[in-house]
Structure 1
């Protein structure tokens, strides 16, 4: 996770509860320039804005959210876990969070559900400088990898190794603070890091001016859901869930529009955050994000359309990894009534 993510956000997360608009019940309203009545809504991201988030800003610029009757405010987050908690507590109407954090939150009693996972192919990967020569799982033997104890990447890495016939003891995972993983690779303290191909790699390449290679979990036998749109019980219950339905449709349409217009979508992020990466990094992050939108089961469908089988596979992976105690039924995590329809 890049150091930029730990800098002070424009809207500190601790103030969300004080700054939040009314969540649940009847949404607060505003009026568009054209005189259309809009429901105010807040979306808290998984972290500070980076390339993956371009569709949200493009959707605002192209008035896609307005078309669906939504006056959207986008807020920086401080990690998926906190976004899940804030969404469940009604401090934000919607959240953008990693599915493992959603599964863990629901298992702990947090009242949230997914309206659709958009990054359906995991960006989880081992990232290294190309010169290191890590091009296959077998190349990891004897290497030292920067990872963060307890996070989804470190929990699933042993499963990745097992699926590729590698003994866990053959690879050393060095516990590293998320903000220090890139520095560990650049300084040579570790050979690689565990990260997301749509995030850390482009930043590391920009900082070091060296080519970065990716050993993706999804290309080596292990896939699971990543980031998606979530809502809390108050939002889902308020106005019969109509706002949630419209939000899911607006986000899907925004992703589809951004996919067709990647350069304008990235340009729409200008000014989104003081911690915004350079445009070249944003572009590479978003280009990678576009490779993650579907599984074989959802290819050709609108962004955010999920299948029960893909959900079950994800639940099974994280039950095996120990991130959930015992997988609940898919319907406990995924709201099909208000989310995207196939």
Structure 2
């Protein structure tokens, strides 16, 4: 998530990498022989945490192995752009937010979305309750933090829809990837992910009470409610291989079936999945990861058409915002409609058929989040 749309500043590097690696002579996918498992690589977009619990669980529980796959999960980081890793052949699949991946496609990356795992956006704008910010219009005259690197487009779309000029009606502040500026009072509203930074303020002590802050101490702008949400974590594949490589096509169905089974497992076995994430070396503690997985499950479930199936209306809304919303520099995410095969539901629907044939609940209509008690610092 941290590198969202950092490709806007890395366009030249991406073009050079694509040219160096080449896309015309895409190597074919090996077919397993003598029962050997096919080795493939999945690139994450950030460090190991519950945001990626489904994939980690698919390895731990043997779901990939069941499909004849030996999956290596590549940890993300500050300077790792997963869709570039995929486009340059250093991974077979990648997790990336839709707008950032589309920006990379516009710059030449031959990638296609194959599954929309998160059905909802997890981006918030958080403020202390006494600031009186209950709608985007209330941001007028306020100091508004955002991370930049393209993370700001939902926020800017919300302000624009409320009749505000983001460049004139608010004071924009470059926010670090934490909530310290909000807690110190340096800004009036801070950008946060529901599953990460929002938990960080609830893991902090209120100096007035000596106890942890409570949700009632804050107000939250949720872009899903406002109507300017953009699609986030999706799985992406190599476009050329999807077009011409039969083994890769078959592998993709198996990879999706196992990955989505991992997410179903984490819906139904949250505590076990938190243990898997913590054991993998997550940088934040168990109560934070428990909160995170609970919030991630809210973004995934319910999935009325089946987990991973892309809602075309949500896609269109994301593309429209990417084309029309300008940031403080006057830039939009995209300059034109995505060309070629930007997404396909073909493989995920086949994967869902496999899961349903095995009796899996792929919609999660009965999912209910749990109550999570946070500890100081997320321990």
Aligned to 2:377: none
Deviation for aligned residue 1:57: 1.7
Q: Does 1:339 align with 2:348?
A: yes
Counterpart selection for 1:220 from 220, 223, 226: 226
Structure 1 position 240, deviation (Å): 4.2
Deviations 1:9-66 (A, max 9, x none): xxxxxxxxxxxxxx952348699xxxx5321111111100222111112222221111
Contact 2:126/2:190 (CA < 8 Å) preserved in 1? yes
TM-score of the two chains, using structure 2 as the length reference: 0.74
* TM-score between both structures, scaled by the size of structure 1: 0.81
Contact 1:51 1:281 in 2 (8 A): no
Select which of 174, 178, 182 maps to 1:185.
182
**Shift in Å at residue 332 of structure 1?**
2.5
Q: Does the CA contact (< 8 Å) of 1:42 and 1:94 recur in 2?
A: yes
| Per-residue deviation, 1:107 | 0.7
Q: Which residue of 2 aligns with 1:306?
A: 310
**Residues 98 and 25 (structure 1 numbering): CA distance in 2 closer, same or farther, change over 3 Å?**
same
Q: Deviations over 1:83-102 (max 9, x none)?
A: 11011001011111111111
Query: Counterpart of 1:270 in 2: which secondary structure?
Result: helix
Q: How big is the shift at 1:326?
A: 0.6
Residue aligned with 1:250, SS: helix
SS of residue in 1 equivalent to 2:305: coil
Match of 2:45 in 1: 46
Q: Which runs of 5+ in 2 are unaligned?
A: 3-25, 206-211, 326-331, 353-379
- Structure 2 equivalent of residue 12 of structure 1: none
Task: Tell me by how many angstroms 1:68 deviates.
Answer: 1.8
Is this contact kept in 1: 2:137–2:159, CA < 8 A?
A: no
Does 331-340 or 97-106 show the bigger shift?
331-340
The 3-state SS of whatever aligns with 1:332 is coil
User: 1:100 aligns to what?
Assistant: 99
Q: Which residue of 2 aligns with 1:197?
A: 194
Q: Deviations over 1:273-330 (max 9, x none)?
A: 3x52111111111111122126xxx84332101133322221111111210111125x
* Alignment partner, residue 229 of structure 1: 235
Please state whether the residue corresponding to 1:128 is helix, strand or coil: strand
User: How far, CA to CA, are the matches of 2:105 and 2:349 in structure 1?
Assistant: 20
Q: Provide the secondary structure at the position in 2 that maps to 1:198.
A: coil
Equivalent residues of 1:96, 1:230 under 8 A apart? yes
Give the corresponding residue for 1:327.
337
Cα deviation, 1:168-201, whole Å, max 9, x if unaligned, reads 333222023x43x422222221122123212221
- Residue pair 1:117, 1:305 contacting (<8 A) in 2 also: yes
Q: Distance in 1 between matches of 2:80 and 2:237?
A: 14
Sort the Cα spacing of 1:25 and 1:190 in 2 relative to 1 into closer, same or farther, 3 A. same
Written as runs of structure 1 = structure 2, the 5 A alignment for 1:45-194 is 45-78=44-77, 82-130=81-129, 132-151=131-150, 153-168=151-166, 169-176=168-175, 178-179=176-177, 181-194=178-191
Match of 1:5 in 2: none
Which residue number in structure 1 is paired with residue 263 of structure 2?
Answer: 255
